Homo-oligomer: A and B are copies of this chain.
Amino acid sequence: MKTSIEDYIKHIYTLQDSKRRVGTAVLAQKMDITMPSVSEMVKKLTAAGYLRNKPYHGFLLTGEGEKIAVSLIRKHRLLEYFLLKVLNFEWDEIHQEAETLEHFVSDKFIDRLESVLDFPKFDPHGHPIPDGKGRIPNAKSLVLSDTVIGRNYVVSSVDDKSREILKYLKGIGIKIGSGFRIHDMLEVDKSVIIKFERKKYLLSKTISDSIRVTAK
């Protein structure tokens, strides 16, 4: 399977996770390419049976398409785990390397790796790792903006796309499993103020959006 096709499928998968359907414009923006490029590829993916498309109403992955997406995510997360735990990469380095390798390691490679790593259930960013059959352990977590002021939460996952954010959080000591209280939420720009280890920190909307927590 071609890298480019896999990339489209993966991006569509993550987008359709939140919004119900994905449009050409949104996908183009997310992938940082132009709309005609997306349009063309959507045609191809639809013909290949990975996508069902309703122009001006968005498209969705078929079962086939989802299978590929989940397999890629499985590879990505197991690779991240391996890079961090075995090869001692830093928290903020593993995403890039995994992003490349996920397209080239075989299923056999990843199954063996999973077994050697002793079947981890979550990757280093707290995201669940799909098993060999595509089943995904679900952790009912929520985004910071859905939390309640005054309550306590535990970090369950952090989006791994931005190295800057990962570095920043690492700097103030927040990691998977860290607990904090929601101190306040600013109306102006949706910033969140948390109280973590006796200190208050303001997290911009972008940062807080990348953190998922569970109630404690």
Contacts and interface: CB of A to CB of B under 8 A. Distances in A.
Top 5 closest pairs, chain A to chain B, by CB: A87-B112, A104-B104, A100-B104, A101-B104, A97-B106
Interface residues of A, number: 18
A116 interface: yes
A105 interface: yes
Interface string A88-101: 11000100010011
A83 B89 CA distance: 20
Contacts of A97: 105-106, 108-109
Interface of A: 83, 86-89, 93, 97, 100-101, 103-106, 108-109, 112-113, 116
5 contacts: A86-B116, A87-B116, A89-B108, A97-B106, A104-B104
Contacts of A101: 101, 104-105
Contacts of A112: 87-89
A88 B87 CA distance: 18
A87 B100 contact: no
A151 B89 CA distance: 50
Given A87-B113, A93-B108, 4 more contacts: A87-B109, A87-B112, A87-B116, A97-B108
Contacts of A109: 83, 87, 97
A83 B106 CA distance: 12
A193 B97 CA distance: 48
A86 B83 CA distance: 15
A111 B81 CA distance: 18
